[in-house]
Amino acid sequence: MVPSKLCALFCLCSCLTLIHPFVWQDLNPAAQTKSPVWLHTIKALMAAASFGQTKIPRGSGSYSVGCTDLMFDYTNKGSFLRLYYPSQDDDHHDTPWIPNEEYFLGLSKVLGIHSVMANFLSLFFGSMTTPAKWNSPMRTGEKYPLIVFSHGLGALRTIYSAIGNDLASHGFIVAAIEHRDGSASATYYFKDESTAVKGNKSWLYFKTLKRDEEEAAVRNEQVRQRAKECSQALNLILDLDHGSPIKNALDLEFDVKQLKDSIDRNKVAMIGHSFGGATVIQALSEDQRFRCGIALDAWMFPLSDEVYSRIPQPLFFINSEQFQFPANIIKIKKLYLPDRERKMITIRGSVHHNFDDFTFATDQVIGCIFKLKGDIDSNVALDLSNKASLAFLQKHLGLQKDFDQWDSLIEGKDENLIPGTNINTAYQHITTLQNSTGIGK
């Protein structure tokens, strides 16, 4: 994501210089807001850039979908997550996609560009919404399976809403964690209860590696913390299911008491993208309450070798055609041990960002140029991934649904799927995995 998004921003800046030449000292946001010409120029460019923009799709299931944010323990040691759930009605407004300007500042840090560029990101993406009803009341009277979702490197809790929406529309509760290990583009907490009441946020931004830091050690420490954060979030949600009096540190309309008796406690799974895929593997090795795991384009670099033999639960790898590489696939195959359920498919013509919402943020031409979209239609790729996931979840969570109609997708039986992988690992020299830092990885 980083190289592609960086190119997009450079192209945007190049267009700006043709229309309204400037130097860096001119980029004072407060000063520029006084210039009607400047504002008109930016708005015109953003309108052109977003022309043909697709929308984040609605879930394909029969349930209406609600969405809220939950923060338990206002400090940076607590849990912060976005919750997607079956809802009672569609009367509430759609959910803001990236809800705070500080996240765009965090994205600029991930991209390694001047912080002023956060304003361009905010203008480009700030008005987007996702089709889940914000703080809509939960549909009660039914117990739902629970999915804990882990985001990629440089991402945040909100940008996998297409997956969250679809799973919730099929009767799941999805808890998308925002990690506090320095791998999120940004996240926030409150210093104490009084600042939480006032809404005075303290922000943590993406942690860049120092020159003297060994990346393998840093990423391994992060993936271990991420796994603990997933288990901690699961603890809190199950406590709410028991009716424990836990307060949401965020002052939102959604009443957490609705979660009482809402979770099927024997039907809990994990899904994650890229760094989140590694987090799935780490979490399953430590917490047997996760009955199975789905790793979307998993980035295996953060995992230590001892993890591979400690995962009896079923694992499903759904890969893009363009992201994977031999050393990564070799590590995945180390998980293929006797009497362990392991499945892998590859989506033809797909790229790494076909699993996150950025694939829906631009039109087809711009999306393909900057690797946010693949050759395959983004909706088709997401639909294949979600249906294969639902079939796998039904099989290993023991669901009484009709998701088994998509069992063939688990085996890669579709014209847009490759059974296993497209990567040839024969005779490959196994070297240390090299990181190419990017949003989602």
If one counts every other C-beta atom within 10 angstroms of the C-beta of residue 85, the result is 29
List 297, 356, 357, 414, catalytic entry: 297
Contact 340, 406 (CB under 8 A): no
**Minimal CA–CA distance to 315: which of 350, 348, 285, 352?**
285
The label of the residue with tokens 């070799």 reads 330
Cα(330)–Cα(350) distance, rounded to whole angstroms?
A: 20
Contact 253, 135 (CB under 8 A): yes
Residue 297 annotated as catalytic: yes
**Minimal CA–CA distance to 5: which of 433, 366, 351?**
366
Instruction: State the sign of the Cα–Cα–Cα–Cα dihedral 89, 253, 234, 343.
Output: positive
List 352, 353, 385, 396, catalytic entry: 352
Burial class (CB within 10 angstroms; exposed 0-12, middle 13-18, buried 19+) of 49? buried
Residue 352 annotated as catalytic: yes
List 274, 285, 320, 350, catalytic entry: 274
Residue 73 annotated as catalytic: no
Contact 291, 270 (CB under 8 A): no
Cα(137)–Cα(139) distance, rounded to whole angstroms?
A: 7
Contact 316, 295 (CB under 8 A): yes
| C-alpha distance from residue 78 to each of 231, 274, 285 (Å) | 12, 23, 22
**Catalytic residue positions?**
274, 297, 352
